[in-house]
A and B are shown apart, each in its own frame.
Chain A
Amino acid sequence: MTAEDGRTKPAASASTDLHADPGVEHGEPTADRPVRLTETAQQRDRARTIYEKSQPGRRAFVAPELDVPRRDGLLPDRFRRTEPAKLPEIAEPEIVRHYNRLSKRNFDLDTGFYPLGSCTMKHNPKLHERVAALPGNARLHPLQHPRRAQGALRLMWELQSALGEVAGLPHVSLQPSAGSHGELAGVLLTRAYHEDRGERRTKVLTPDTAHGTNPATVTMAGFEVVKVGTNDRGGVDVEDLRAKAADDVACLMLTNPNTLGLFDTAIEEIAHIVHDAGATLYYDGANLNAVMGRTRPGDMGFDIVHFNLHKTFTQPHGGGGPGAGPIAVSDRIEPYIPRPQVVRREPGNGAGPSFDLDFDRPKSIGRLRGFQGNYGVFVRSYAYILSLGCDGLQEASETAVLNANYLMARLAETAGEHLPVAYDRTCMHEFVLTGGPMKKALGIRTLDLAKRLLDFGFHPPTVYFPLLVDEALLVEPTETETRETLDAFAEAVGEILSEAADDPETARSAPYTTPVRRLDEAGAAKRPVIRQPL
Chain B
Amino acid sequence: MLAAVGAASIDELFADVPERLRLGRPLDLPAGKPEQEVYGYLRGLAAMNVSTEDEVSFLGAGMYDHYVPSLIDSIITRSEFLTPYTPYQPEISQGGLQVMFEYQTAISELTGLPVSNASVYEGPSALAAAGYLATLHHPARTRFLVSRGVHPHSRETLATTSVGWGTTIEEIGLSDGATDAGALDAALSDEVSAVFLQYPNFLGAVEDLEALVPAAKAAGALVIVQCDPLGLGILRPPGDFGVDVAVGEGQTLGNRLDFGGPSFGFFAAQQAYLRRMPGRIAGETTDVDGRRGFVLTLQTREQHIRREKATHNICTAQALNALAGVIYLSWLGREGLVELSELLLQRTAYAREALAGVEGVEPLHSQPVVREFAVTLDADVEQVIERCAAEGVNPGYPLGRDYPELSNGLLVALTEQRSRADIDRLARTLQAAVRDTVPA
Within 8 A of B (CB), among A480-534: 483, 509, 511, 514-521, 523-525, 528-532, 534
Residues B91 and A390 in contact, CB atoms below 8 Å apart: no
Residues B293 and A142 in contact, CB atoms below 8 Å apart: no
Residues B23 and A75 in contact, CB atoms below 8 Å apart: no
Among residues of A, the one whose C-beta sits closest to the C-beta of B308 is: A215
Residues B282 and A530 in contact, CB atoms below 8 Å apart: yes
Residues A59 and B17 in contact, CB atoms below 8 Å apart: no
* B62 lies within 8 A of chain A by Cβ: yes
Residues A149 and B236 in contact, CB atoms below 8 Å apart: no
* A387 lies within 8 A of chain B by Cβ: yes
Within 8 A of B (CB), among A388-433: 388-394, 398, 401-403, 405-406, 408-410, 425-426, 428
Expressed in whole angstroms, the Cα–Cα distance for A318 and B287 within the complex equals 25
User: Known contacts A84-B338, A319-B319, A530-B283; is A220 also within 8 Å of B312 by CB?
Assistant: yes
Interface residue count on the A side (C-beta < 8 Å):
199
Q: Interface-forming stretch among A7-15, A275-283, A373-381, A436-444?
A: A373-381
* B272 lies within 8 A of chain A by Cβ: no
Expressed in whole angstroms, the Cα–Cα distance for A54 and B109 within the complex equals 15
State how many angstroms separate the Cβ of A532 from the closest Cβ of chain B.
Answer: 4
Expressed in whole angstroms, the Cα–Cα distance for A183 and B303 within the complex equals 13
Expressed in whole angstroms, the Cα–Cα distance for A91 and B135 within the complex equals 44
Among residues of A, the one whose C-beta sits closest to the C-beta of B236 is: A81
* B168 lies within 8 A of chain A by Cβ: no
State how many angstroms separate the Cβ of B407 from the closest Cβ of chain A.
Answer: 16
Q: Interface-forming stretch among B79-87, B216-224, B425-433?
A: B79-87
Residues B94 and A383 in contact, CB atoms below 8 Å apart: no
Among residues of B, the one whose C-beta sits closest to the C-beta of A69 is: B350
Per-position binary interface string of chain B over residues 79-120, scored 1 when its CB falls under 8 Å from any chain A CB and 0 otherwise: 111111111111111111011011011101110001110110
State how many angstroms separate the Cβ of A16 from the closest Cβ of chain B.
Answer: 10
Expressed in whole angstroms, the Cα–Cα distance for A80 and B233 within the complex equals 9
Within 8 A of B (CB), among A435-457: 450-451, 454
Per-position binary interface string of chain B over residues 396-438, scored 1 when its CB falls under 8 Å from any chain A CB and 0 otherwise: 0100000000000000000010011101000000000000000
Question: Residues of B contacting A141 with CB < 8 Å?
Answer: 51-52, 57, 59, 63, 65, 257, 259, 394
* A40 lies within 8 A of chain B by Cβ: no
Question: Residues of B contacting A140 with CB < 8 Å?
Answer: 49-52, 257-259
Residues A517 and B121 in contact, CB atoms below 8 Å apart: no
Among residues of A, the one whose C-beta sits closest to the C-beta of B297 is: A524
Name the one of B259, B337, B419 contacting A149, with C-beta atoms under 8 angstroms: B259
User: Known contacts A81-B234, A296-B23; is A320 also within 8 Å of B94 by CB?
Assistant: no
User: Known contacts A61-B339, A107-B84, A319-B323; is A137 also within 8 Å of B92 by CB?
Assistant: no
Expressed in whole angstroms, the Cα–Cα distance for A521 and B319 within the complex equals 21
Expressed in whole angstroms, the Cα–Cα distance for A516 and B165 within the complex equals 43
Name the one of A71, A144, A317, A379 contacting B83, with C-beta atoms under 8 angstroms: A317
Name the one of B81, B257, B295, B340 contacting A139, with C-beta atoms under 8 angstroms: B257
Residues B320 and A390 in contact, CB atoms below 8 Å apart: no
Name the one of A143, A383, A409 contacting B6, with C-beta atoms under 8 angstroms: A409
Question: Residues of A contacting B106 with CB < 8 Å?
Answer: 85, 87
Question: Residues of A contacting B109 with CB < 8 Å?
Answer: 85-87, 534
State how many angstroms separate the Cβ of A105 from the closest Cβ of chain B.
Answer: 4
Residues A181 and B121 in contact, CB atoms below 8 Å apart: yes
Name the one of A88, A213, A374, A520 contacting B285, with C-beta atoms under 8 angstroms: A520
- Which of under 10, 10 to 19, 20 to 34, or 35 or more describes the interface residues of B? 35 or more
Question: Residues of A contacting B316 with CB < 8 Å?
Answer: 178-180, 308, 310, 317, 320-323
* B182 lies within 8 A of chain A by Cβ: no
Residues B289 and A528 in contact, CB atoms below 8 Å apart: no
State how many angstroms separate the Cβ of A433 from the closest Cβ of chain B.
Answer: 16
Residue with the greatest number of chain A CB neighbours at <10 A, chosen from B20, B96, B281: B96
Expressed in whole angstroms, the Cα–Cα distance for A260 and B59 within the complex equals 49
State how many angstroms separate the Cβ of A455 from the closest Cβ of chain B.
Answer: 10
Within 8 A of A (CB), among B160-181: 160-161, 163-166
Residues A519 and B63 in contact, CB atoms below 8 Å apart: no
Residues B114 and A103 in contact, CB atoms below 8 Å apart: no
Per-position binary interface string of chain A over residues 121-165, scored 1 when its CB falls under 8 Å from any chain B CB and 0 otherwise: 100110101111111111111111100111110110000001001
User: Known contacts A66-B346, A81-B236, A100-B75; is A531 also within 8 Å of B21 by CB?
Assistant: no
Expressed in whole angstroms, the Cα–Cα distance for A102 and B346 within the complex equals 37
Per-position binary interface string of chain A over residues 293-335, scored 1 when its CB falls under 8 Å from any chain B CB and 0 otherwise: 1111001100000001010000011111111100000000000
Question: Residues of B contacting A150 with CB < 8 Å?
Answer: 48-49
Question: Residues of A contacting B257 with CB < 8 Å?
Answer: 138-142
Question: Residues of B contacting A59 with CB < 8 Å?
Answer: 333, 335-336
Residues B71 and A95 in contact, CB atoms below 8 Å apart: yes
Residues A386 and B41 in contact, CB atoms below 8 Å apart: yes
Among residues of B, the one whose C-beta sits closest to the C-beta of A98 is: B330
Q: Interface-forming stretch among A237-245, A343-351, A360-368?
A: A360-368
Expressed in whole angstroms, the Cα–Cα distance for A106 and B89 within the complex equals 10
Residues B210 and A215 in contact, CB atoms below 8 Å apart: no
State how many angstroms separate the Cβ of B100 from the closest Cβ of chain A.
Answer: 8
Residues A524 and B284 in contact, CB atoms below 8 Å apart: yes
Question: Residues of A contacting B163 with CB < 8 Å?
Answer: 188, 191, 221-222, 365
State how many angstroms separate the Cβ of A490 from the closest Cβ of chain B.
Answer: 10
* A193 lies within 8 A of chain B by Cβ: no
State how many angstroms separate the Cβ of A504 from the closest Cβ of chain B.
Answer: 17
* B38 lies within 8 A of chain A by Cβ: yes
Name the one of B42, B53, B235 contacting A80, with C-beta atoms under 8 angstroms: B235
Expressed in whole angstroms, the Cα–Cα distance for A383 and B42 within the complex equals 8
Question: Residues of A contacting B4 with CB < 8 Å?
Answer: 406, 409-410
Residue with the greatest number of chain A CB neighbours at <10 A, chosen from B80, B206, B236, B346: B80
Within 8 A of A (CB), among B35-86: 35, 38-39, 41-53, 57, 59, 61-63, 65, 69, 71, 73-75, 77-86
Jot down 9 A-B pairs with beta carbons below 8 A, ordered by A. Answer: A87-B333, A136-B48, A148-B50, A317-B84, A371-B153, A375-B258, A523-B286, A525-B300, A531-B104
Cβ-closest 7 pairs across A and B = A222-B164, A371-B260, A136-B46, A318-B320, A142-B260, A389-B32, A151-B48
Given A50-B102, A68-B349, 8 other A-B contacts at CB below 8 A?
A: A75-B235, A81-B233, A85-B233, A129-B77, A322-B321, A387-B33, A521-B90, A530-B274
